[in-house]
Amino acid sequence: MNDFDWKNLIDPLFYIHFDINGIKLGVYIVLFIVFAETGLFAGFFLPGDSLLFLAGIYSRELIENILIIDNDFVNVILLATLVALSGILGNIVGYWFGSKSGYYLYNKEDSFWFKKKYLVQSKDFFEKYGGKAIIFARFLPIFRTFAPIVAGIVSMERKKFMFYNILSSFIWSYTLIFAGHYLYGFLLDNYQIDLKQHIELIVLILVGITILPVIYKFGKKTKELTLKNKSTS
């Protein structure tokens, strides 16, 4: 903590290895970040997907923050379940906020924490895919943050929202954490490739994979608006 750098905020390993006076708090920080992405609307800069993938690689170390379990499979199951529950809770808070004061956001000025254009684009995304948008959004930065808010704004049926909320959270959590854990073991055992020595490359690849659909969506929307403006001028 004495060597804190603001760049650490976008570094997944900073959260995984986080400690205060030698007390390891990584697992609690990971769970809080997953919650904060949707519950506190801070998902546009937090390393969500890459964080979960790396959490899978460091699953034993993270779970040991809570208790010691010798079985790797149980460690991964426990971590993935805790992350899924945090994601569910975050979405519930986002849905509640959207249902109570969501329309206020359309008149809110942009700030570091909030960009209205992301809300508008998430609403378009939600209207296109309906309840399935909750599942798709889990794997898309920015959309993941605003999808539950939009669901609250449009008064999506609570039972339907909870179904997609629970399903999407478990799919997202289990997919990324299991992928990180077992890909790490597979490459190390069969090819002597230690992913822990290539963390920066992994983060760049994962960020690229998750950001490309968002860039494509924004680019397509911009092109449509440009063509529309030309046709009306």
What's the total number of domains in the chain?
Answer: 1
Is 64 a member of any domain? yes
1: in domain: no
Establish if 163 belongs to a structural domain: yes
Token pair belonging to 197: 């020595």
For residue 189 the two structure tokens come to 């055992």
Cβ atoms of 134 and 168 within 8 Å: the answer is yes
120 and 13 in contact (C-beta within 8 Å)?
A: no
- Residue 127 located in a structural domain: yes
Domain that holds residue 104: 6-232
pLDDT of amino acid 41: 67
Which residue type, as a one-letter code, is found at position 45? F
Write the pLDDT tens digit of every residue in 4-60: 566 676 688 899 999 999 999 999 999 999 998 877 766 555 667 889 999 999 999
Asked if residue 136 belongs to a domain, the reply is yes
Instruction: Look up the pTM and report it.
Output: 0.83
Residue 21 lies in a domain: yes
pLDDT at 224: 66
Q: How far apart are alpha carbons 170 and 82 in whole angstroms?
A: 10
Three-state DSSP class for residue 31: helix
